[in-house]
């Protein structure tokens, strides 16, 4: 069994107060701790998680995303997800997690919608 890795690169978004976390690799039981640590570091009013480099996500990864969303809500911050492929979107839809947050097609779409002033 190979241990998988995830790369997470943080950058500023198009608007002041926005941050983007770009993920590369699977978000699963082996990589959620890196994801959780990266999300915890971010204190911007608006955070966009770019899933365009995530080939798949398991239930542990989904739980980590839900945890990030709930934590942000409690701190009065906004979180959006963008760039999910069909496989990841199917998991989000099947588990009805899509009722918690709206996945955006692209980071640019999410940047327009979750600008800190909105």
Residue whose C-alpha is closest to residue 45's, from 75, 14, 81, 8: 75
Given the DSSP bridges, would you call strands 103-104 and 78-82 parallel, antiparallel or unpaired? parallel
Q: Is the pLDDT of residue 2 over 70?
A: no
99 within 8 A of 66, measured Cβ to Cβ: no
Q: pLDDT (tens digit, 9 = 90+) per residue, 46-83?
A: 999 999 999 999 999 999 999 999 999 899 999 999 99
pLDDT of residue 4: 80
What pLDDT is attached to residue 74?
Answer: 92
Domains of the chain, each with CATH number or no CATH: 7-113 (3.30.750.24)
pLDDT band at 98; cut points 50, 70, 90: confident
DSSP secondary-structure letter at 57? B
d(CA 88, CA 43): 26
Handedness of CA 5, 85, 115, 74 (dihedral sign): negative
pLDDT for the residue 7: 97
Alpha helices, H only, 29-77:
32-41, 59-74
For the whole model, what pTM was predicted?
Answer: 0.92
Inform me whether the pLDDT recorded for 1 exceeds 80: no
């Amino acid at each position: 069994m190979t241990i998988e890795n995830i790369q997470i690169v943080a950058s500023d978004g198009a608007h002041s107060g926005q941050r983007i976390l770009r993920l590369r690799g699977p978000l699963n039981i082996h990589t959620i701790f890196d994801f959780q640590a990266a999300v915890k570091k971010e204190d911007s009013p608006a955070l966009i998680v770019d899933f365009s480099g995530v080939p798949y996500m398991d239930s542990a990864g989904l739980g980590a995303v839900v945890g990030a969303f709930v934590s942000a809500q409690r701190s009065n911050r906004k979180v959006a997800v963008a760039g999910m492929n069909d496989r990841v979107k199917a998991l989000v839809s099947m588990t009805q997690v899509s009722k918690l947050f709206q996945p955006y097609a692209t980071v640019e779409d999410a940047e327009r919608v979750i600008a800190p002033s909105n």
